[in-house]
Amino acid sequence: MNVISLSPLDLALAAGLLLTMAALTWYLRLGVTRSVLVAGLRTTVQLLLIGLVLRWLFANTSLALVSLLALVMLLAAGREVWVRPKRPFSGLWGFGVGTGALFLSSFTVLLFGLTVLVQPTPWYEPQYAIPLLGMLLGNTMTGIAVALDRLTGAAWSQRSVIEQRLLLGEDRWQAMGDVRDECIRSGLIPIINSMAAAGIVSLPGMMTGQILAGSPPVVAVQYQILIMFLIAAGTGFGTVAAVLVGCWRLFDDRHRLRLDRLG
């Protein structure tokens, strides 16, 4: 099946649409114009770069190179989780909580997906490993970022409630119980929504890409279902891990709420 190649003009016209949107945000004084432009530029540069990297990696398959790229992707995702919250954990914890949770969940799920489910040869075949990891990281990142932002935000805004519960003799887990559950829920809502809407409201990006690139729809659908389940599981595990570690870090061994540990 032939794939219709996009011309530079096509991409330029699409970029023009984005610029028009940016102009609108400037006209409305929304204060996000710069962010829109920078993000658009980043998309272009980053995707072009990864395209080149992947082309080279597919030609030179090695576990070390795949691991290196995976590490770079992990650190980049970890950084996004780190800078997102309004009040991140200060010091190494700011980076460590999110990145640790990302690593645990995404890489566990990735290994499971590669060695048990898809089973390419070799198992780290970059054509499968890298896109899988990318989608796992991308979605888990969003879940963890939302949940951690909620968690540290709630620790600030609900300080009096949390301390009141501590004063009445509850321990740190009891005092954080409602906040913790709410944070985990909020981290899971995006992926639950996309699973619920998949195929009806939206055609998921990966499947769309595969179909556009010429794969038979049923094959694309099978992969998409697999991916959805892996992503949902990874996001769930990652979000729970991040929130639990975050809750733990918010208190010290005397069950004191330690807001001084937030930046």
Q: Residue 248: which of 102, 100, 83, 84 has the closest Cα?
A: 100
Q: What whole-number distance in Å separates Cα of residue 66 and Cα of residue 70?
A: 6
Instruction: Supply the minimum distance, in Å, between the C-beta of residue 167 and another protein.
Output: 5
Of 10 and 171, the one with the shorter C-beta distance to another protein is 171
Least CB distance from residue 149 to another protein, whole Å?
Answer: 21
Shortest spacing between CB 179 and another protein, in angstroms: 9
Rounded-to-integer distance, Cα 220 and Cα 187, Å: 27
Nearer to another protein, 145 or 184 (CB): 184
Q: Quick one: which of 253, 244, 252, 249 has its CA closest to 262? A: 249
Query: Which of 10, 252 has the CB closer to another protein?
Result: 252
Which residues are near another protein by CB under 8 A?
158, 160-161, 163-171, 178, 252, 254-257
Question: How do the residues of the chain divide into helix, strand and coil, expressed in percent and rounded to 5?
Answer: 80, 0, 20
Q: How far is the CB of 185 from another protein (least distance, A)?
A: 17
Determine the Cα–Cα distance for residues 41 and 254; give it in Å rounded to an integer: 48
Give 4 or 167: the residue with its C-beta nearer to another protein.
167
| CA atoms within 13 A of residue 67's CA, in its CB half-sphere | 3
Place of tokens 């980043």: 42
User: Which residues, 6+ apart, have CB-to-CB distance to 131 below 8 Å?
Assistant: 206
Q: How far is the CB of 154 from another protein (least distance, A)?
A: 11
Nearer to another protein, 84 or 249 (CB): 249
